Structure 1
Amino acid sequence: MAIEIRPVTRAETKEYLRALPFVSGLPQEEPEPSAWYAGAAAWPPQIPATDEALEQYVEEIQSDWYRPQAAFVDGKVAGASGIVSVEITVPGLQRVPLGGVTSTGVLPTYRRRGLLRKIMTAMLDDCRERGEFLAGLSASEATIYGRYGFGPATFQQRWELRRTDAAFRDTFDDPGSLQLVEAPIAAGAWATLHEQVRAERVGEISTLPGKWEGLGAAGLPADGSGPAHHLLHLNASGEVDGAALFRLPWSADPAQAGALQVSAFETLNLGAYRALWGLLTDFDLTNRVVAAKRPVDEPLRWMLKNSRAIKVTRARDNLWLRLLDVQAALEARAYAGAGSLVLDLSDDLYGSNARKWRLDAGPDGATCTAVSGASADISLTVAELGSLYLGGVSPVVLLHAGRLAEHTAGAVSVLDALLRQDRAPHNAVGF
C-alpha cells in the first residue's frame, strides 16, 4: 500500500471533494441536538452534493485562503482536509493569524490506517511554515483531536425561554431604533458589525470570503423551517450597533409550534443588546425563544425578573486550539497580572515545543524563554495549554481533573491569575 500526503491539483479536486463528509453525504455531526442549531432537527440530512454544487466547490477551493491536503492510497484519494487562513482575537485584543482546520474526513474503507494523523501533520507543518503559530478547529467528535495537541478553548450554549417568563427586571428607554430589513441590507450591516465585534471579543474569528453573500438563505435549517428574518438595531446616530437573524417556523406539532429561532445575534453595547432581546423575547404570536451559538456568560439571564427562566438545553465545546509555536503564542497575548513560572510542556508532534519554558508575564507583555536545568512549577501537555490559552478554561479545574501537575505550591493559582479574562472567550462564526 503506497501512501502519499500532498495538496491536490485542479484535475484531482473533484475526487478530493468526494472524500469530504459535507460532499459525500456521510455523517459530519454528532446525532443529537446541537448548540449551533436553533431548529428542531438533530442534525442536517446527509445528502451527497450534486454535480452543480461540486463545480461551485471546485472554484471556491482554488483560492489563496484555502489550502487542501489529501491522502492518496495507491493513487486514489482516501482522505482529505484543508486549512483556511483566518485571524483570531487573543487576550489583549491582538488579532493574530490562525490556521483553521476544516472539512476533514477519511473514507470508511480506509479507516484505522493512520491516514488522519498523516494529513493532520502535513497541515500543521504547513501552518508553521507560514508563520501561523496557532491552529484551530471545530470537532465533530470530542475524542479525535486531542491526540494531535488540540484542546477545547471556547464553548457555546443553546437555550430556551418561554415568552411568559421573559419579563425584564428594569424598564429601558432606547434612544435608538429597531428595523426589519431585507437580506442585502443585513449582509452589509453584518460585515461591518462583525469586524467591530471581533476587535473587542477574545476568541472571535475573521470571516471567510463570501460569508455574508446570500444571507437570506444561509444556514437554512434541515427541517425546512422557513426563511430568515433580519433585525437591526441602530443607535441614536443611525449607525448599526446590533443585529439578529431569526426564523418563525410553522409546525404541525404543537410541541414545536410558536418557537422563534435565533441563529445569529451580535451587539456592540448594552443598549442594543437589551433592545434586540426585548423584541425577540416578546414577539407577537410566539410562545418561546430558542437561541443557538450563545456564549456561556450570556448576560440576559441577569436582566430577567426570573433568573431561572432561561433553560440551557445544549452545551458543547466550540473552537479547539493547538499551539504550534509555544514561544510566539505565549508572547502574542496579554496577561491580567504579573508573575513568573516555569512550564514543563510535552508535545508529541513538535520537539521544539517539548521543553521547559520560563514565562515572565505582566500587563505590558511577556517573554517566553526555553530553559534547561530549572525546576518546573507546572507540567502539562500542549493540548491543555491550548484549552488555557484564551482564558476560558481555568488551570485550577484542569489540576483537579488530573490534566496537569503542580510541582510548586500555589503555581496553578498564579497561572490562573495570569490567564484570566473578564469575559469568556467566544466565537460566533466558524470556518
Structure 2
Amino acid sequence: MTIEIRPITRAEATEYLQVLPYVNGFPQEEPEPSAWYAGRAVNPPQRKATPEQLDQYAESLLTDWFRPQAAFVDGKIAGGSAIVSVELTLPGGRQVPMGGVTSTAVLPTYRRRGLLRKIMTAMLDDCRERGEFLAGLSASEATIYGRYGFSPATFQHRWEVRRTDVAFQTPFTDPGQLELVDGAEAAVVWPVLHEQVRAVRVGEVSPLPGKWSGLGDGALPADGSGPAYHLIHRDAAGEVDGAAIFRLPWSPDPEHAGELQVEAFEALNQNAYRALWGLLLDFDLTKRVVAARRPVDEPLRWILTNSRALKLTRTRDNLWLNILDVRRALEARTYSATGALVLEVDGVSWALDASPDGAACTAAPGARADVSLTVNELGSLYLGGVRASEFRDAGRITEYTAGAVTRLDALLRPDRAPHNAVGF
C-alpha cells in the first residue's frame, strides 16, 4: 500500500469532494444534541450532493483561502481535509491569522490506517509555513482531535423560554426602531454588523467568503423548519445596531407547536439587545422561544423577573484551538493582570512576563517551572474560556509553585467569556 499526502489539483477536485460527509451523505456530526442547532432533531438530515452541486463545489474549491490536502492510497483519494484562512479575535482586540481545519474525513473502508494523522500533520505544517501560529476547528466528535493538539476553547448554550414566563425586570423604552426586512437587505446588514462585533468579541472568527450571500434566496430548508425571517434594530440615528434571524416551524405535535427558533442574534448595545429579545420573546401566536449558538454568559437571564424561566437545554464545545507557536501566541494577546510565570509546555519552559498592555515570552531552558501543562490545556486556556484551576483539579496541570495556578487564572481571564457565532 502506497500512501501520499499532498494538495489536490483542479482535476482531482471532484474525487476529493466525494470523500467528504457533506457531499457523500455520511454522518458529519456525532448523534448527540448540538447547541448550534435550534431544532428538535439531533442533527439536520444528510443528503448526497447532486452532480450539479458537485460541479458547483468543484468550481469554487481551489481558492487562496481554501487549502485542501488529500490522502492518496495507491493513487486513489481515500481521505481529505482542508485549511481555511480566517482571523481570530484575541484578548486585547488583536485579530490574528488562524488556520481553520474543515472538511475532514476518511472513507470508512480506509480507516484505522493512520491516514488522518498524516493529513493533520501536513495541514499543521502548512499553517506553520504560512506564519499561522494558531489552528482551530469545530470537532464532530470529542475524542478525535485531542491527539493532534486541539482542545476546546469556546462553548455555546442552547436554551428555551416559555412565552408565558417572560417579563423584564425594569421598564424599557426603545429609543430606536425594530424592522422586519427581506433576505436581500439582511444580507447587506449582517456582514457590517459582524465586523463590528468581532472587533470587540474575544474568540470571534472572520466569516468565510459568501457567508451571508444566501440570505436573500428565499429557499426553504430541507428539514421542514420553514422560511427564515429577518429582524433588525436601528438606533435613534437610523443605524443598524442589532439583528436576528428566526424561524416559525410548523409541527403536528401540540407540544412543539408555536415554537419560535432563533438561529442568529447580534446586538451592539443594551438597547438593541433588549428591544430584539423583547419582540422575539413576545411574538404573537407563539408559546416557546428556542435560541441556539448562545454565549455561556448570556445576560438575558438577569433581565427577566423570573430567572428560572430561561432553561438550558444543551451545552456544546465550539471552537477548538491548537497552539502551533507558544511564544508568538502568548505575546499576541493582552492579559487581565500584571505578573510573571514560567510555564512548562510539553517539556519546554517559557518565561511569560504579562500585563494589560501585552507580554514578552522567551524560552527559559533550565528555569524552574511554576506550572506544567501540555499544548492541549494551553489551547483551552488561551482565550480564557476555561480556568487553569479546573485543569489542576482534574489532574491535567501540575502546580510547582504555590498560588501559581491562581495567578495564571488572573492573567488569562477576560471580562466576558469568549464566544464565536460564525463557523467554518
TM-score higher than 0.5: yes
Offset of residue 113 of structure 1: 0.5
Alignment match, 2:37: 37
Deviations 1:399-427 (A, max 9, x none): 00111110110000110000011100000
Match of 2:155 in 1: 155
Amino acid across the alignment from 1:116: L
Q: Equivalent of 1:389, from 376, 379, 382?
A: 382
Mapping for residues 139-150 of structure 1, pairs under 5 Å: 139-150=139-150
The answer to whether structure 1 residue 372 and structure 2 residue 347 are counterparts is: no
1:46 Cα deviation after fit: 1.9
2:72 corresponds to which letter in structure 1? Answer: F
Q: Which residue of 2 aligns with 1:351?
A: none
Q: CA RMSD in A?
A: 1.1
Are 1:425 and 2:418 counterparts?
yes
Partner of 1:236: 236
> TM-score by structure 1 length?
0.97
In the TM superposition, what is the alpha-carbon distance from 1:223 to its structure 2 partner? 2.3
Residue 219 of structure 1: how far off its partner (Å): 9.8
CA contact (8 A) 1:40 1:223 kept: no
Q: Could you tell me whether the CA contact under 8 Å between 2:183 and 2:218 is conserved in 1?
A: no
Residues in 2 aligned to 1:218 and 1:267: alpha-carbon distance in whole angstroms: 24
**Residue aligned with 1:214, SS:** helix
Given the alignment of the two structures, is residue 189 of structure 1 paired with residue 189 of structure 2, yes or no? yes
Partner of 1:329: 329
Q: Is 1:319–2:319 an aligned residue pair? A: yes
Q: Distance in 1 between matches of 2:417 and 2:28?
A: 27
Equivalent-residue separation in structure 2 for 1:343 and 1:226 (angstroms): 51
Pairwise CA distance, 1:182: 0.4
1:274-313 equivalent positions in 2, closer than 5 A: 274-313=274-313
1:11-45: CA deviations, max 9, x gaps?
11100000111111111012132110111221122
In the TM superposition, 1:319-358 aligns within 5 A as: 319-346=319-346, 355-358=348-351
Gaps of 5+ in 2: none
2:83 partner SS: strand
Where does residue 53 of structure 1 map in the other structure? 53
Query: Matched residue of 1:61: which SS?
Result: coil
Distance 1:156 1:123 in 2: 27
* CA distance in 2: counterparts of 1:182 and 1:26, whole angstroms: 34
Tell me the equivalent position of 1:124: 124
Retained in 2: the 8 A contact 1:216–1:227?
no
Q: Hey, what does 1:257 align to over in structure 2? A: 257
Number of equivalenced pairs: 424
- Once the two structures are superposed, residues 71-109 of structure 1 have per-residue CA deviations (whole angstroms, 9 ceiling, x without a partner) of 000000010000000001000010000100001000000
User: Taking structure 1 as reference, are residues 419 and 405 closer, same or farther at Cα in structure 2, changes over 3 Å only?
Assistant: same
SS at match of 2:308: coil
CA distance, structure 2, for counterparts of residue 376 and residue 343 of structure 1 = 6
Given that residues 83 and 123 in structure 2 are in contact (C-alpha distance below 8 angstroms), is that contact kept between their aligned partners in structure 1?
Answer: yes
Contact 2:248 2:261 in 1 (8 A): yes
| Alignment check: 8 A CA contact 2:158 2:314 kept | yes
For structure 1, which segment, 38-47 or 161-170, has the greater mean C-alpha deviation from structure 2 after superposition? 38-47
Instruction: Spell out structure 1 runs of 4+ moving beyond 2 A.
Output: 216-223
State whether residues 44 and 221 of structure 1, in contact with CA within 8 Å, keep that contact through their aligned partners in structure 2: no
User: 1:216 touches 1:229 (CA, 8 Å); kept in 2?
Assistant: no
Counterpart amino acid of residue 79 in structure 1: G
> In 1, Cα distance between the equivalents of 2:376 and 2:216?
38
Q: Assess if the C-alpha contact under 8 Å between 2:392 and 2:398 holds in 1.
A: yes
Whether the aligned pair in 1 keeps the contact of 2:218 and 2:227 (CA below 8 Å) is no
Matched residue type, 1:202: V
Displacement after TM superposition at 1:123 (Å) = 0.3
Higher alpha-carbon deviation: 59-68 or 232-241: 59-68
What is the alpha-carbon distance in structure 1 between the residues aligned to residue 215 and residue 205 of structure 2? Answer: 18
Equivalent position SS for 1:398: helix
Within-5 A mapping of 1:7-46: 7-46=7-46
What amino acid sits opposite 2:407 in the alignment? V
How far has the Cα of 1:251 moved from its partner? 1.0
